[in-house]
């Protein structure tokens, strides 16, 4: 019986390189794999390889968490199915498709020389892609991705597995028709407008980076308040490095959940936002994550939502790793700009 995995690749500056390894060479590569970091040896060997090539003073728990997640690759056997979000065999950019592939050979380690990284490899076969909107099975798989955010994920959902099996069957029966149908109307419109849209979002991001911090926080507040959330606090800090810029009630006051908390006299969870107005790649983006982590002890409810909004182009792997460990949502500049457009918050880009 096959097992099923969600395998997230690098979606940043190495995306095209790693996608090409998958599409052209049928090699699924995972990062955090420079020389000496094979996971089929011990954790101590992995750690030594890491420290020899990269940061020497990174917390042990960060390295161990990455090692433990990567070690899932050792479980993947020939015949198991692997789903890769945001990738198409036809398009060379991050898109609304996913790849389904079958494991051909077990884990091996061979550093990708062009990047001096991505040495963790699963060789695959029967590779094909499917639009998120192709049919109900594709939509079901896409809807489950939110539960599988780590680089390597074991799939437990039976409906996810059944949908993968059905798409594999459909592709095997009529591969030419399957690929032809994968270009849906939404994808065509998205491709046709993506260049102009991305340019507009870049202009919004650039304008936001030029305003002062208080105005930036006001715009974040406007986004939440316009959608029915209530600002309850701001500039909350502990004097020891912990810091929260904005606090919102977790539910719109016109929703059932708000009324349930109110009627039952139960303390409502809140949304705690750390706002950073950095440009390009923020080498210190871990700071925003650390500031929220340090405030957790002072947050009265255990089910709070923690969020960092940073206008940087992309978060560092270190920041994403720590955010994942602590359940913190990371929103970069383009994502925040797209939310402003979607919810009608105007920004002067002149």
Question: Got the DSSP string for 294-350?
Answer: HHGGG-S-TT-EEEEEE-SSS--HHHHHHHHHHTEEEE-HHHHHHHHHHTT------
Q: How many CB atoms lie within 10 A of CB 42?
A: 11
29 in Cβ contact with 21 (< 8 Å): yes
Does residue 349 belong to any structural domain of this protein?
no
119 and 170 part of one domain: yes
End of a domain among 134, 152, 183? 183
Does 114 lie in the same domain as 23? yes
Whether residue 121 is found in the same domain as residue 237: no
- Stated as kind and residue range, the H or E segment containing 121 is strand 120-131
- Residue at a domain's end among 183, 210, 237: 183
Check whether residue 59 and residue 117 sit in a common domain. yes
289 lies in the same domain as 338? yes
Residues 292, 178 share a domain: no
Say if 350 falls within a structural domain: no
pLDDT tens string for the chain (350 positions)? 899 999 999 888 889 999 999 999 999 999 999 999 999 989 999 999 988 888 777 788 888 989 999 999 999 999 999 999 999 998 888 888 999 999 999 999 999 999 999 999 999 999 999 988 888 899 999 989 988 888 999 999 999 999 999 999 999 998 887 766 555 555 555 656 667 778 888 999 999 999 988 999 999 999 999 999 999 988 877 666 667 889 999 998 889 998 998 899 888 889 999 998 888 777 678 888 888 888 877 888 778 899 999 998 888 878 887 888 788 899 999 899 999 998 999 888 77
What CATH number is given to the structural domain containing 256? 3.40.1350
Residue 141: domain span:
4-183
In a domain, 12, yes or no: yes
Number of domains in the chain: 2
pTM, rounded to two decimals? 0.64
């Amino acid at each position: 019986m096959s097992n099923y995995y969600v395998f997230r690749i690098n979606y940043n500056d190495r995306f095209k390189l790693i996608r090409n390894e998958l599409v052209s060479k049928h090699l699924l590569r995972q990062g955090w794999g420079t020389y000496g970091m094979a996971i089929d040896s011990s954790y101590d060997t992995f750690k030594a390889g890491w420290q020899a090539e990269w940061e020497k003073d990174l917390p042990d728990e960060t390295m161990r968490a990455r090692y433990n997640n990567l070690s899932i690759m050792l479980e993947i056997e020939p015949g198991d199915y692997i789903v890769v979000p945001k990738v198409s065999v036809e398009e060379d950019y991050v898109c609304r498709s996913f790849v389904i592939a079958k494991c051909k050979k077990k884990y091996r380690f061979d550093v990708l020389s062009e990047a001096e990284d991505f040495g963790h490899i699963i060789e695959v076969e029967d590779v094909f892609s499917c639009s998120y909107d192709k049919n109900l099975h594709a939509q079901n798989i896409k809807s489950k991705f939110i539960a599988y955010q780590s680089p390597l994920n074991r799939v437990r959902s039976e409906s996810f597995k059944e949908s993968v099996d059905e798409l594999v069957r459909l592709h095997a029966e009529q591969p030419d028709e399957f690929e032809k149908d994968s270009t849906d109307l939404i994808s065509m419109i998205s491709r046709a407008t993506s260049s102009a849209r991305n340019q507009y979002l870049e202009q919004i991001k650039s304008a936001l980076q030029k305003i002062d911090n208080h105005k930036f926080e006001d715009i974040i507040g406007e986004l939440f308040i316009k959608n029915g959330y209530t600002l309850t606090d701001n500039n909350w800090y502990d004097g020891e490095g912990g810091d929260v810029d904005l606090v919102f009630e977790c539910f719109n006051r016109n929703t059932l959940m708000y009324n349930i908390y109110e009627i039952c006299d139960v303390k409502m969870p809140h949304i705690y936002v750390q706002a950073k107005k950095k440009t390009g790649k923020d080498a210190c983006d871990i700071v925003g994550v650390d500031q929220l982590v340090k405030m957790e002890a002072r947050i009265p409810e255990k089910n709070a939502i923690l969020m960092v909004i940073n206008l940087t182009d992309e978060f560092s792997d270190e920041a994403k790793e720590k955010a994942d460990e602590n359940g913190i949502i990371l929103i970069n500049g383009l994502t925040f700009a797209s939310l402003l457009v979607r919810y009608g918050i105007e920004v002067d880009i002149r």
